[in-house]
RNA sequence: GCCCGGGUGGCGGAACUGGUAGACGCGUUGGUCUCAAAAACCAAUAAGCGCAAGCUUGUGCGGGUUCGAUUCCCGCCCCGGGUACCA
């Protein structure tokens, strides 16, 4: 009987659904295992073959743990709020909820086909009001909490208020005035500085094209990650979360979790802890002081200038009269530069002397105070002490403006300070008064002690981590449960949640620049009278706690009940993309710690173990085309120029560019060509490649991979048809190779719609079946490694499944019938099975799925050779295979006479006794080179082995009559003879 | 620049604690079956030399430790990812 995967797979997918096979058990006495995938954003493009990679891996573990008797929680859901659905809504007017719903339906269909064992009864969607009700609830807790440095945890803000009312002022809390004399409004303003969710002026990444602010991790190279639009820095009132309060705990918590080193390192860098001290400098002839933060107080005597960030308000305060205008024009220049300009001109040194002088706290010397762009307003105090001799940035600044450079650290091997700064930390202090002769580290400590003694500053720890901006000027997100009463932001009551996202007529900002929610304002008011907050929460809000909701998905009384939280605790294995290192994975740790502080959950870290699956890249096909102008960068919004529309676009086969140069040049003149390329770039969204060959610039444009054969030749007919459907219905010219073929270039890169290189799992399921897809994706290589997708080799895996199938059937190919025998197995069969069981179990534990699949192949190849059809061998094998290829396993299991799903059959055990051999074929090497093999009994002692080897005929040949210098015997491994 | 990964046949990749380098699969070549093709099955397949037995060279490059190194140490090169004036 043929292996008919279509029928089998459908049959079992329906069976699982009908029998609720993967419904999570509520028996809390059983051992639990929580395995979670990072939930997807349901984009319109659907799943490509890269998405399921991690899901397949986690599904194998989930099914394997189920076999092992664990109560497994293996859920799936959707991170459904977000920009793309909203952009689409703006363009089409369709409600983002509708688009999202459609996309989810597509995802679900695709996921179902692969045979995952998700418990869909616990599905969550961040955009459901029954879900975001709790996201809003957490926001209210954050708003109503402050971070008490004494207890080192979040506490109710009322605790702080009570203390203030009693006239107490806890450490870290400071404000002007007397609490009990303050107005309501003033009290609110003070409390805002301590709430964990607060409204404050924040320097944000403002993206005018998207009409919203973006988080740091949503900005890449000064442009938005989605869409590539320019981003500028802007000071705006914003809701933020005080993640910085948790900086130290977020850092310390990394030590205890089993995450990849690179992931932890990325978080450590992002948190960016540095230790040093603050030092105050007085300004000559002024009451103002400048406070700087430095990690190198040992270089205090090398300070030759101070530099303030242009945004630092002191700059204009202290600017001395003759330089006032210069300074303020510099400040406004610096402020108006976009983030992109700043980034692209990092090397460019700008600055201005303020005209003011600071007094060196130890020497009393006057040192000039400058302002310069290289000083960041957001870090430390927004001011630095310039030590050009020992800091390369200060050095560049000093050189550029001709400032003094004084060496104060003398390393063992002399350095030339006139050439570059010495930034090393080994050496002794010179020219440094009381620090002279001290090693750097000692000098650091000594100087901090001195600074503290003289009350110039104090030991300080600084973090690079910024508070997280929590508002977006967008429609498609969770409304922030805040209303305004007399201009004071007030929290809603918990029992008034959810605050439902209102309907609006358009998803764009209003004419006056307010967020889209302002469009609902006339009817959308708190208790019919107070304005709601108009910004919505960012994309990461809902994903920062979703893992908790799965534990208790239907609960409408609580976010998660204490009982369930205590049972499920944390995620045992979390699988997802490495790109979330500093975004999602930091926020989810932050919220977890916060909810722990509230006493809601028993754990401080969301996931014990984290694994990042590698990206599956696409192999794109590109057609060479000809232009003669350099690439023009960003051209958003430009129309294709008219002259260009009339021109043909010339495509040229990969191997004949040079040959054809003269022929295609006649199509162009410089001027028109330039305009053409300008317009064209816009249409191709900047994914093309540009390569210079001779004086030609070849622009490689993506073509659908489906048009190109495995030998890289293009289906020219299809290609013409496709190009004709492009906007403008352009004319094209094609230059082929001499034999009439058109050769494309190949490039391995990210899979995306715009690169036309997407491969979907559906096609594989259709042609080979889900079991083959699952095995193949695992067989491709180590889970964590990125690899290009290639269908080469899928037949190998498919053949393996068919070979396995055949073991269970007897008779001629087409008329074969199912038959397994009850005969007792032989030792060869037992050895094959138990070897496989041992290896595969170990491989699953260390997530080495590619080697597990190959072990299955070895076993099945061996059994096929032995024509083994014994039930006692095949049954355990099928059970072990069931996490990898569940459909065929269920089918064979049923045919072997079982009436319950294979899912809980128990993990097959292996018996060492079947694996032991009594002899071993020793590789015998002479001087480290393997020369021959000798089969010897494993019972022999080292000495016996040595005797046997030396006396053997074959070895004597190599000894040439002489006695060996040395013989190394590793029993069961190797023999090495040194002559 | 800095921080993490990673460089092994024609290709994807094995080799767990220093012990037979190239498992398993793809591809390629030859064969069986067939009128033919597909499928299936069998055999070969790191490179070089050789009729052969066999020899030599081989895990990015150069050194080192060791009886023995893909594995450990030192110095470099290349590729991928992250990050970027963080004082």
Whether residue A829 is found in the same domain as residue A797: yes
pLDDT at A435 exceeding the cut of 60: yes
Q: What is the largest CA-CA distance in chain A?
A: 107
Cis ω before A87 (30° cut-off from 0): no
What CATH number did the domain enclosing A814 receive? 1.10.730.10
- State whether residue A788 is helix, strand or coil: strand
Query: Does any domain span residue A90?
Result: no
CB A475 within 8 A of CB A504: yes
- The last residue of one of the domains, among A408, A428, A463, is A463
Residue nearest to nucleotide B41 (CA to C1'): A865
pLDDT at A676: 45
Tokens of A583: 């975004």
Query: Does any domain span residue A851?
Result: yes
Query: Does any domain span residue A937?
Result: yes
CA torsion sign for A308, A313, A318, A320 is: positive
Where is pLDDT greater, at A233 or A272? Answer: A272
CB A223 within 8 A of CB A258: no
Q: Which nucleotides of B are covered by protein (CB under 7 A)?
A: 3-5, 11-16, 19-21, 23-27, 40-42, 55-56, 67-69, 80-87
Return d(Cα A506, Cα A636) in angstroms, integer.
23
Give pLDDT tens digits for A904-941: 999 999 888 888 777 787 888 887 777 777 777 877 78
Where is pLDDT greater, at A61 or A814? Answer: A61
Return d(Cα A396, Cα A402) in angstroms, integer.
10
Pinpoint the alpha helices (H) of A569-669: 584-597, 642-646, 657-665
Whether residue A340 is found in the same domain as residue A438: yes
Whether residue A431 is found in the same domain as residue A452: yes
Return d(Cα A80, Cα A94) in angstroms, integer.
16
Number of H helices, E strands in chain A: 31, 38
CA A550 to C1' B85 (Å) is: 44
Distance from the Cα of residue A839 to its chain's centroid? 31
Strand B contact with A933 (CB < 7 A): yes
Task: Kindly state the DSSP code that residue A714 receives in the 8-state scheme.
Answer: B
pLDDT at A661: 55
Range of the domain at A883: 761-907
- The last residue of one of the domains, among A430, A463, A496, is A463
Give pLDDT tens digits for A281-302: 999 888 889 999 999 999 999 9
Tokens of A701: 């444009």
Strand B contact with A393 (CB < 7 A): yes
Residues 365-384 of A with CB under 7 A from strand B: 373-376, 378-380, 382, 384
Give the Cβ contact number of residue A540 at 10 Å: 23
Quickly tell me which residue has 């979040």 as its tokens: A154
Return d(Cα A955, Cα A969) in angstroms, integer.
14
Tokens of A565: 């939280």
User: What share of residues in chain A are helix, strand, coil (percent, to 5)?
Assistant: 40, 20, 40
- State whether residue A948 is helix, strand or coil: helix
Query: Does any domain span residue A309?
Result: yes
A374-388, A676-690, A851-865: least confidently modelled range? A676-690
> What is the ipTM, given to two decimal places?
0.93
Q: Is A397 left (phi over 0), alpha (psi -120 to 50) or beta?
A: alpha
CA A967 to C1' B8 (Å) is: 30
Whether residue A837 is found in the same domain as residue A727: no
Whether residue A845 is found in the same domain as residue A713: no
CB A944 within 8 A of CB A966: no
Residues 198-227 of A with CB under 7 A from strand B: 216-217, 220
Which nucleotide is closest to A784, CA to C1'? B5
Torsions phi, psi of A604, nearest 5?
-105, -10
pLDDT at A642: 47
H or E segment to which residue A19 belongs = helix A5-19
Quickly tell me which residue has 């890269």 as its tokens: A50
- State whether residue A411 is helix, strand or coil: coil
pLDDT at A55: 95
Which nucleotide is closest to A272, CA to C1'? B86
Residues 603-632 of A with CB under 7 A from strand B: none
Return d(Cα A133, Cα A137) in angstroms, integer.
6
A955 pairs with which residues across the strands?
A: none
A76-85, A208-217, A877-886, A943-952: least confidently modelled range? A208-217
CB A170 within 8 A of CB A150: yes
Return d(Cα A246, Cα A107) in angstroms, integer.
36
Give the Cβ contact number of residue A842 at 10 Å: 14
CA A787 to C1' B7 (Å) is: 14
Beta strands in A295-406 (DSSP E): 305-308, 351-359, 366-372, 383-386
Pinpoint the alpha helices (H) of A386-437: 392-401
Q: How many domains does chain A have?
A: 4
A88 contact partners, CB below 8 Å, separation of at least 6 = A44, A94, A96, A99
Whether residue A421 is found in the same domain as residue A310: yes
Share of chain A above pLDDT 70, in %: 89
CB A456 within 8 A of CB A448: no
Pinpoint the alpha helices (H) of A555-648: 562-568, 584-597, 642-646
Strand B contact with A261 (CB < 7 A): yes
Query: Does any domain span residue A485?
Result: no
Query: Does any domain span residue A887?
Result: yes
Residues 262-301 of A with CB under 7 A from strand B: 262, 265-266, 269, 272, 274, 276, 293-296
Averaged confidence pLDDT in chain A: 85
Give pLDDT tens digits for A24-78: 988 999 999 999 999 999 988 888 888 899 999 999 999 999 999 999 999 999 9
Which nucleotide is closest to A217, CA to C1'? B83
pLDDT at A58: 95
Query: Does any domain span residue A556?
Result: no
Strand B contact with A337 (CB < 7 A): no
Whether residue A699 is found in the same domain as residue A790: no
Stretch A598-617: mean pLDDT: 92
pLDDT at A568: 96
Return d(Cα A693, Cα A178) in angstroms, integer.
75
Strand B contact with A500 (CB < 7 A): no
Specify the length of chain A in residues.
979
Query: Does any domain span residue A393?
Result: yes
pLDDT at A208 exceeding the cut of 90: no
Whether residue A637 is found in the same domain as residue A771: no
H or E segment to which residue A185 belongs = helix A184-192
Whether residue A302 is found in the same domain as residue A434: yes
pLDDT at A630 exceeding the cut of 50: no
Whether residue A645 is found in the same domain as residue A775: no
Quickly tell me which residue has 């001195």 as its tokens: A450
CB A608 within 8 A of CB A572: yes
- The last residue of one of the domains, among A413, A442, A463, is A463
∠ CA A160-A165-A171 to the nearest 5 degrees? 45
Whether residue A856 is found in the same domain as residue A891: yes
Whether residue A438 is found in the same domain as residue A390: yes
């Amino acid at each position: 009987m043929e292996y008919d995967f279509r029928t089998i797979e459908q049959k079992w997918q329906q069976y699982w659904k009908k029998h609720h096979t993967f419904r999570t058990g509520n028996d809390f006495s059983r051992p639990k295992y929580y395995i979670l995938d990072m939930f997807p954003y349901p984009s319109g493009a659907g799943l490509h073959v890269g998405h399921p990679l991690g899901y397949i891996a986690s599904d194998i573990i989930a099914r394997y743990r189920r076999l092992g008797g664990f109560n497994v929680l293996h859920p799936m859901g959707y991170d459904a709020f977000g920009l793309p659905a909203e952009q689409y809504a703006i363009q089409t007017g369709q409600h983002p909820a509708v688009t999202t719903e459609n996309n989810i339906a597509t995802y679900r269909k695709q996921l179902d086909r692969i045979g995952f064992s998700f418990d869909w009864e616990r599905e969550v969607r961040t955009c459901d009001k029954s879900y975001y009700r709790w996201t809003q609830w957490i926001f209210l807790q954050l708003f109503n909490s402050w971070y008490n440095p004494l207890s080192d945890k979040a506490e109710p803000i009322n605790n702080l208020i009570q203390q203030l009312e009693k006239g107490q002022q806890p450490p870290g809390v400071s404000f002007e005035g007397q609490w009990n004399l303050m107005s309501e409004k003033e009290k609110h303003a003070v409390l805002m500085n301590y709430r964990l969710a607060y409204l404050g002026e924040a320097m944000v990444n403002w993206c005018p094209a998207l009409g919203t602010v973006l988080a740091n991790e949503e900005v890449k190279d000064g442009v938005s990650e989605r869409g590539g639009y320019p981003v500028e820095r802007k000071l705006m009132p914003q809701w933020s979360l005080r993640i910085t309060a948790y900086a130290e705990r977020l850092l310390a918590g990394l030590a205890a979790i089993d995450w990849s080193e690179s992931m932890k390192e990325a978080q450590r860098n992002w948190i960016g802890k540095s230790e040093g001290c603050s030092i105050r400098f007085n300004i000559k002839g002024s009451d103002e002081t400048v406070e700087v933060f430095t990690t190198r107080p040992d270089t205090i005597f090398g300070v030759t200038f101070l530099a303030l960030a242009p945004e630092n308000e002191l700059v204009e305060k202290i600017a001395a009269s003759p330089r006032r205008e210069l300074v303020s024009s510099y400040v406004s220049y610096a402020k108006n530069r976009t983030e992109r300009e700043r980034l692209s001109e990092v090397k460019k040194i700008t600055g201005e002397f303020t005209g003011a002088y600071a007094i060196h706290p130890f020497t009393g010397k006057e040192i000039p105070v400058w302002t310069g762009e290289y000083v960041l307003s957001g870090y430390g105090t927004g001011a630095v002490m310039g030590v050009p001799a020992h800091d390369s940035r200060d050095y560049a600044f000093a050189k550029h403006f001709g400032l003094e450079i004084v060496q104060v650290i003398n390393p063992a091997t002399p350095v030339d300070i006139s050439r570059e700064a010495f930034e090393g930390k080994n050496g002794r202090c010179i020219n440094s008064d009381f620090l002279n002769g001290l090693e750097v580290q000692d000098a650091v400590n000594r100087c901090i002690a001195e600074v503290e003694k003289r009350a110039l500053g104090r030991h300080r720890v600084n973090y690079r981590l910024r508070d997280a901006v929590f508002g977006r000027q967008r429609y498609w997100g969770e409304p922030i449960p805040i209303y305004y009463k007399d201009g004071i932001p007030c929290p809603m009551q918990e029992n008034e949640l959810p605050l439902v996202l209102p309907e609006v007529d358009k998803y764009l900002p209003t004419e006056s620049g307010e967020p889209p929610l302002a469009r609902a304002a006339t009817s959308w008011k708190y208790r019919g009278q107070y304005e709601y907050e108009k910004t919505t929460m960012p994309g990461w809000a809902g994903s920062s706690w979703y893992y908790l909701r799965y534990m208790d998905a239907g609960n409408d009384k609580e976010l998660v009940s204490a009982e369930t939280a205590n049972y499920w605790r944390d995620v045992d294995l979390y699988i997802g993309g490495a790109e979330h290192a500093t975004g999602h994975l930091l926020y989810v740790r932050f919220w977890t710690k916060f909810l722990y502080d509230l006493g809601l959950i028993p754990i401080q870290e969301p996931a014990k173990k984290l694994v990042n699956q590698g990206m599956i890249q696409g192999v794109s096909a590109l057609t060479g085309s000809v232009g003669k102008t350099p690439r023009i960068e960003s051209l958003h919004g430009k129309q294709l120029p008219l002259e260009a529309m009339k021109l043909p676009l010339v495509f040229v086969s990969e191997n004949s560019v040079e040959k054809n140069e003269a022929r295609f040049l006649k199509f162009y003149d410089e001027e028109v060509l330039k305009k053409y390329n300008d317009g064209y770039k816009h249409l191709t969204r900047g994914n093309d490649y540009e390569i210079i060959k001779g004086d030609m610039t070849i622009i490689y444009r993506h073509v659908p991979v489906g048009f190109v054969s495995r030998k890289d030749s293009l289906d020219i007919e299809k290609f013409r048809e496709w190009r004709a459907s492009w906007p403008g219905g352009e004319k094209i010219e094609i230059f082929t190779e001499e034999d009439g073929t058109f050769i494309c270039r190949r490039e391995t890169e990210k899979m995306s719609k715009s690169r036309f290189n997407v491969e979907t799992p559906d096609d594989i399921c259709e042609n080979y079946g889900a079991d083959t897809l699952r095995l193949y994706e695992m067989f491709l290589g180590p889970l964590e490694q990125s690899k290009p997708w290639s269908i080469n080799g899928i037949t190998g895996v498919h053949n393996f499944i068919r070979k396995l199938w055949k073991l269970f059937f007897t008779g001629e190919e087409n008329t074969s019938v199912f038959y397994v025998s009850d005969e007792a197995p032989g030792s060869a069969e037992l050895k094959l099975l138990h070897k496989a069981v041992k290896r595969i179990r170990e491989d699953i534990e260390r997530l080495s799925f590619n080697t597990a699949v190959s072990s299955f192949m070895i076993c099945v190849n061996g059994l096929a050779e032995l024509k083994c059809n014994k039930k006692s061998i095949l049954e355990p094998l099928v059970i072990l295979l069931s996490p990898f290829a569940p459909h065929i396993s269920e089918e064979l299991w049923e045919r072997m006479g079982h009436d319950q799903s294979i899912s809980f059959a128990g993990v097959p055990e292996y018996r060492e006794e079947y694996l032991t051999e009594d002899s071993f074929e020793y590789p015998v090497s002479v001087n480290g080179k393997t020369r021959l093999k000798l089969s010897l009994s494993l019972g022999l002692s080292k000495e016996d082995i040595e005797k046997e080897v030396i006396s053997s005929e074959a070895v004597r040949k190599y000894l040439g009559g002489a006695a060996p210098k040395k013989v190394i015997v590793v029993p069961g491994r190797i023999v090495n003879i040194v002559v």
